[in-house]
Amino acid sequence: MSRALVLGGGGPVGIAWESGLIAGLARAGVDLGRADFILGTSAGSFVGARLALGADAASLADPILAEAERAAAPRRQGPARRPADLSFLMQKMAEAQGSLRNPAEVRAEIGQWALAAETMSEDDFIASFGRSFASLPGDAWPERGYACTAVDAESGAFQLWSKASGVGVTRAVASSCSVPGVYPPVTIEGRRYIDGGMRSGTNADVAAGHELVVLVVVRMAAAAGPAAQGVATRLDEEVASLRAGGAEVVVIGPDETSQQAVGANLMDFRRRPDAVRAGMAQGAREAERLRSLWT
């Protein structure tokens, strides 16, 4: 049976929760890292790349837990950074998920806004990802089946990065995680790219052709409004499309305990320790449901 793992977006908190979930499942005997194909969008691109590059699924949460211990130690706090105003982004994401305009045109408007936004430098952003992929050559790509998503900041076109693309995994993942207005668009072969979640939070339709698809979705506990409704509708359409193609689809989102740990602000780094622990506990509970299918 051909198995695909699809990991959706969810910011730094989503990275923590997904890592915990996968680690909890693996420790209970269900190793999602053994998928034939791993697809990641935004946060999921980072988690998926680590798995595809050979990270032990059962230990996937360890770096985040260690980070949480370091963060708990007393240290001097720098000046608080003013949070970005993402109201424009939320408005445009709702438009892109609607049916009144060409989605690519709306995504291009988001891209232009992202190009003009004041963020950290692109070099600093790439360096933040480089810590995880520091030992890799610039053009390295996982040998196992892996792809991640992005959007061209100028044209709004959807971009799927895979081994055939001939680009390095570090920049590909960074582009997939480039939340407009928060992080800078990433340059790859002369083009600038933004978060693949601008097309879809999961882009699960890319996994068509696999017999079993495990779809991990980070749901915000307080999600509401047109943008959230559009995301939910898009997810339902993607799942229906996969099932219509003959795939068995298992969707996993945060349960009630994980929702409380994740919270509504997926960019709140303070949530990561609780999110990773909640993910691990949920993974242990989810294992029974997946064991017979996955193994």
Tell me the per-residue pLDDT of 215-234, one tens digit each, with 9 for 90 and over: 999 975 445 566 667 778 89
Q: What is the pLDDT of residue 219?
A: 73
- DSSP letter (8 states) at residue 196: G
> DSSP alpha helices (H): ranges in 36-82?
43-52, 62-72
Average pLDDT over residues 263-275: 93
Q: What is the pLDDT of residue 221?
A: 43
CA separation for the pair 50, 45 (Å, rounded): 9
CA separation for the pair 199, 208 (Å, rounded): 17
CB 149 within 8 A of CB 45: yes
Residue 77 predicted with pLDDT over 50: no
CB 253 within 8 A of CB 218: yes
Two tokens, residue 195: 């978060």
Tell me the per-residue pLDDT of 80-130, one tens digit each, with 9 for 90 and over: 455 577 889 988 988 888 778 899 999 999 999 999 999 999 999 998 877
CA separation for the pair 9, 2 (Å, rounded): 23
CA separation for the pair 179, 174 (Å, rounded): 10
Using alpha carbons, select from 158, 161, 159 the residue that is nearest to residue 52. Answer: 161
Q: What is the pLDDT of residue 82?
A: 56
Residue 221 one-letter amino acid:
A
